[in-house]
Amino acid sequence: MKIIVLSSGLLALFLNAITATVHAQNAQKSAISERELQAKLEYCKTCHGLSGQGYRGSIPMPRLAGQQTEYLEDQLRAFIERKRTNSFMSKVADALSPSMQKTLASHFNELNPKPLGGAPKELVAKGKTIYEEGVPEANVAPCSSCHGPSAKGDGQFPRLAGQLHDYISGRLVSWSRGRRERLDANPTEMELIARSLTESQIFAIAAYLSYLE
């Protein structure tokens, strides 16, 4: 009986060793070299700025730095599956392997450059109040209830701290006017919330968030 038990234990150890080896080999095959990563980052920064800090031009490009990895990966999949309506980003995402998607998401999550700022500072106090307290008369909950007290996000809830004010306000105004961004489901909670905000409230929230580090 002891011999059988010992043999079973050795067999289990042997199988575990084989499994671990296979996983290690698969990890090596899917690993992204530093050269490959840097090549992609050079491409990303042409739109999203140095260190993923965002870019303010004729079309504001969002900050990726410090963003939640789960959120970034989800958005890339949405572009690939044409669930988000942006033909340029869909083409960019199509060229990324699953391993590269994860590597880029992890890389940007670890960055934390200073926010670009630039929003009207007189709107910041009003924006802070709305972020922390919501708009009770419009049944709008505090933004912090999902995005966190410091607006750093959590998992599927994106980081908003340091995001370009003109990017945030542009997205919220677009949603408030009923324009859809994702086509895979009913209007998102954020799209519905945006419809309950006035444009002056939207601009104030965006201003407040743009200065958070």
Would the CATH topology of 34-109 be identical to that of 121-210?
yes
Query: Could you give the CA distance from residue 94 to residue 108 in angstroms, rounded to a whole number?
Result: 19
Query: Could you give the CA distance from residue 115 to residue 208 in angstroms, rounded to a whole number?
Result: 11
Is 135 strand, coil or helix? strand
Question: Does position 28 have pLDDT exceeding 50, yes or no?
Answer: no
Give domain 121-210's CATH superfamily. Cytochrome c-like domain (1.10.760.10)
Distance of CA 83 to the CA centre of its chain: 15
Query: Could you give the CA distance from residue 170 to residue 187 in angstroms, rounded to a whole number?
Result: 17
| 126, 106 contact by CB (below 8 A) | no
Return the pLDDT at 3: 40
Is the whole model's pTM more than 0.85, yes or no? Answer: no
Query: Could you give the CA distance from residue 82 to residue 87 in angstroms, rounded to a whole number?
Result: 8
Question: Does position 23 have pLDDT exceeding 60, yes or no?
Answer: no
12-16, 50-54, 108-112, 149-153: which range is least confident on average? 12-16
Task: Find out if CATH 1.10.760.10 is the number for domain 34-109.
Answer: yes
Query: Could you give the CA distance from residue 64 to residue 48 in angstroms, rounded to a whole number?
Result: 7
Give the residue from 114, 3, 10, 6 showing the smallest Cα distance to 53: 114
Return the pLDDT at 24: 40
Could you tell me the residue ranges of all domains in the chain? 34-109, 121-210
For residue range 193-208, what is the model confidence (pLDDT) as tens digits? 999 999 999 999 999 9
Give the residue from 145, 135, 147 showing the smallest Cα distance to 194: 135
Could you give the maximum distance between any two Cα atoms of the chain, in Å?
81
For residue range 80-130, what is the model confidence (pLDDT) as tens digits? 999 888 889 999 999 999 999 999 999 999 999 999 999 999 999 999 999
